[in-house]
Amino acid sequence: MLKPALLILVCLILLGLSLRLLFNGLRQTGNERILGRLSQGQPQRVVHKSSWTGLERAFLRAGLGRPTERLGQWLVFWILGVLLGFALGGWIGALLLLLVPPAAVRLFVSWRYQRRLSRMIEQLPMLLDHAVRSLKSGRTLADAVLGAIDAAEDPLKNAMGRIQRNMHLGVSLADAASDFAELYEKDELRLLALGLKVNHRYGGNASELLENLIKMIREREQAARQLKAMTGETRITAAVLALLPVSVAGYFLLTNPIYLLSMWHDSSGQTMLASAFGFQVIGCLALWRMLRSL
């Protein structure tokens, strides 16, 4: 009974991932139409994609470099771990070592990306303020932005070094900023890139544009902090609900391990434990999605 339950759990996880990809595709369709209208008549860069583009993109956004340089070693270690798990724990151990390491890496990279991105958004108003002062002193927009990047601190300086490299290769400031914004997928960066593209095509007061963007970013940051303070009780409740079943199971395993082991050696008990694990995973995913929507 355990193997069918595990197979059903894997199918449910794959179904959830497929639905998520579907919703992301539907959301990106509207953004691509808007960007397509803005890029009409502009030269398009040829992008050479590989089968590991998504993996490299995730690691670059998290500031971890290119994983393909050490990918072979990590795959060998992963396969050896799966074989070791099969030798020690059978199909259950192999399944755990097959699913847990990629999930752990995915969570770590996502956490690192979100933390790095939030720090970058905090530093962005200071960078734009430096660019505004350079503009008012008589420098061009491109020189002002490049000078502001040189004066910034990490991680924003390291991340926006991508704009500097593209501009040194002959790419315009607007296109380099658009490439940077699409890499990190953040509204503030996309607004900056859109403002630079409009200014590049139609002209206008660049310093006023950047000042309005600084004001908008600070207002969004203040609103986000107020929302975080207002939803603190909700987030604590979600954390308690997610950790309570795991804590109770750990308590039983420490105080009365025979209770859980007797369930594990019984077919109906295995079904109950597998079902409880599946419902726990589904509940944690649901709570995580609810918290992300706040």
User: What's the CA gap between 121 and 106, in Å, rounded?
Assistant: 22
pTM over 0.75: no
* Contact between 183 and 162 (Cβ < 8 Å): yes
Give the position of tokens 């079943």: 245
pLDDT in tens, 216-232: 888 888 888 887 788 77
192-196 average pLDDT score: 88
At 256, the pLDDT band (50, 70, 90 cuts) reads: confident
User: Which is nearest to 161 in space by CA: 176, 144, 171, 175?
Assistant: 176
Q: In the predicted model, is pLDDT for residue 52 greater than 60? A: no
Q: In the predicted model, is pLDDT for residue 294 greater than 70? A: no
25-29 average pLDDT score: 66
At 79, the pLDDT band (50, 70, 90 cuts) reads: confident
Cα–Cα distance list, 219 to 214, 215, 223, 224, 226 (Å): 9, 6, 6, 9, 11
User: What's the CA gap between 240 and 252, in Å, rounded?
Assistant: 18
190-215 average pLDDT score: 86
Angle between the 206-230 and 187-202 helix axes, to the nearest 10 degrees?
170
Cα–Cα distance list, 241 to 157, 231, 233, 251 (Å): 39, 16, 12, 16
CA end-to-end span of the chain: 39
Tell me the average pLDDT of the chain: 79
84-104 average pLDDT score: 77
Can you give the pLDDT at residue 28? 63
At 7, the pLDDT band (50, 70, 90 cuts) reads: low
Can you give the pLDDT at residue 188? 86
263-271 average pLDDT score: 79
Can you give the pLDDT at residue 50? 46
Domain boundaries, the chain: 116-216, 227-293
The phi and psi torsions of 19 (rounded to 5 degrees) equal -65, -40
Residue 83, both tokens:
């074989």
User: What's the CA gap between 112 and 110, in Å, rounded?
Assistant: 5
pLDDT in tens, 102-146: 888 888 888 898 899 889 888 998 999 998 998 888 888 888 888
